[in-house]
Amino acid sequence: MYQGLLHLHSLLRWIILVLLVVNIVRHFASVNKPFTASDKKLGLFLMIAAHSTLLLGLYQWFTGPWGLMNILDKGMGVVMKDSAQRFWAVEHLTGMIIAIVLITIGKGVAKKDLTDAVKHKRSAVLFLAALLIILATVPWPFREGIGRPWFPGM
């Protein structure tokens, strides 16, 4: 079960990345246009994908070998001295939580009593910041010691 959830978690990253790029381009391109129901729905789909991935990731962090179990077995001092262990125990989790908070705030901008231009700009900036954080904290295959395949099961 753990392996299947890990594959699902890895697959969902692509959905989040695509939705982030679509949202960012749409908001930057629509600065002088009305904030539509489609804009709200795209933000909602992004937020649902991000929160679903977060729940899967938290389950893996608490039950898998690289998160809490690793800290309990080896101690925080040992984990923090090893870059691969630190990445899985602290950096990946922290970066993704920050990115998902930014996505949630970016989605929430649609509910604010602001002009449409301000809504588009704020959403775009928050989604762009989330994208940069996600790109920095994903275990890409080229990252030595922590790399995961491009697609699950490869």
For 102-154, how does the pLDDT look when each residue is reduced to its tens digit (9 = 90+)? 999 999 999 999 999 999 999 999 999 999 999 999 999 999 999 999 988 77
With respect to residue 148, please indicate whether it lies within any of the assigned structural domains. no
Count, residues in the chain: 154
User: What end-to-end distance do the CA atoms of the chain give, in Å?
Assistant: 18
Mean pLDDT of 78-102: 97
Entry pTM: 0.94
Count of domains observed in the chain: 1
CA gyration radius for the chain? 17
Q: Using the predicted structure, report yes or no on whether residue 41 has a pLDDT greater than 80.
A: yes
Does residue 100 contact residue 51 with C-beta atoms inside 8 Å?
A: yes
Give the range of the structural domain holding residue 87, as residue numbers without chain letter.
2-137
pLDDT of residue 2: 86
pLDDT of residue 8 exceeding 80, the answer is: yes
145 part of a folded domain:
no
| Residue 150 belongs to a domain | no
Q: Is 152 inside a domain boundary? A: no
